[in-house]
């Protein structure tokens, strides 16, 4: 496991650029953290480092699934499970199987209980806000 402490958005973006270099070309990434912890800021930096337009990256809370194209590469998908239940039917209705099984990187914010039945995460990223309002960002990667 690796861990960083970020004091501001710029440092969070730097961490995102570092994480982008760690992720394999096809990765399912679980992303957890409190509301406002900086999950979207981190995904924006990772996506930009991988070639996506950072201006297209936003919180998927209202659309549930966002796609960030990368010229000549597989798109990055960003899924938000915050408003979703643990019910398998609900996840299938939004097409989660198709999103996860496609090539490329997929971020799942707020993965739910038993989510591993849809696919095995390659990485789990957690953002925690500490007592000084810093972001403690950790990543745990599965062994190849």
Q: CATH class for domain 2-141?
A: alpha beta
8 A C-beta contact, residue 32 and residue 126? yes
Alpha helices, DSSP H only, in the chain?
A: 9-22, 39-49, 88-93, 96-101
Confidence (pLDDT) at 117: 61
pLDDT (0 to 100) of residue 94:
73
Give yes or no for a contact between 43 and 13, defined as CB atoms under 8 angstroms apart. Answer: no
Higher pLDDT, residue 16 or 81: 16
- Structure tokens that stand for 79 in this block: 């899924």
Question: Which residue bears the tokens 């501001």?
Answer: 8
What digits encode the pLDDT tens for the residues 86-102? Answer: 777 777 777 777 887 88
pLDDT tens, position by position, 57-81: 977 656 788 899 999 999 999 988 7
Query: In the predicted model, is pLDDT for residue 27 greater than 70?
Result: yes
């Amino acid at each position: 496991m690796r861990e960083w402490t970020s004091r501001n958005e710029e440092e969070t973006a730097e961490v995102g650029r570092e994480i982008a270099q760690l992720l394999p070309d096809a990765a399912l990434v679980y992303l957890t953290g409190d509301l406002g912890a900086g999950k979207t800021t981190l995904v924006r930096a990772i996506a930009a480092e991988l070639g996506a337009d950072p201006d297209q990256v936003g919180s998927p809370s209202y659309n549930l699934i966002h796609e960030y194209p990368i010229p000549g590469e597989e798109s990055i998908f960003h899924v938000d499970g915050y408003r979703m239940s643990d019910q398998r039917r609900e996840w299938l209705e939004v097409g989660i199987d198709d999103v996860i099984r496609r090539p490329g990187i997929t971020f799942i914010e707020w993965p739910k209980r038993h989510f591993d039945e849809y696919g095995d995460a390659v990485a789990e990223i957690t953002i925690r806000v500490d007592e000084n309002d810093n972001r403690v960002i950790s990543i745990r990667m599965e062994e190849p």
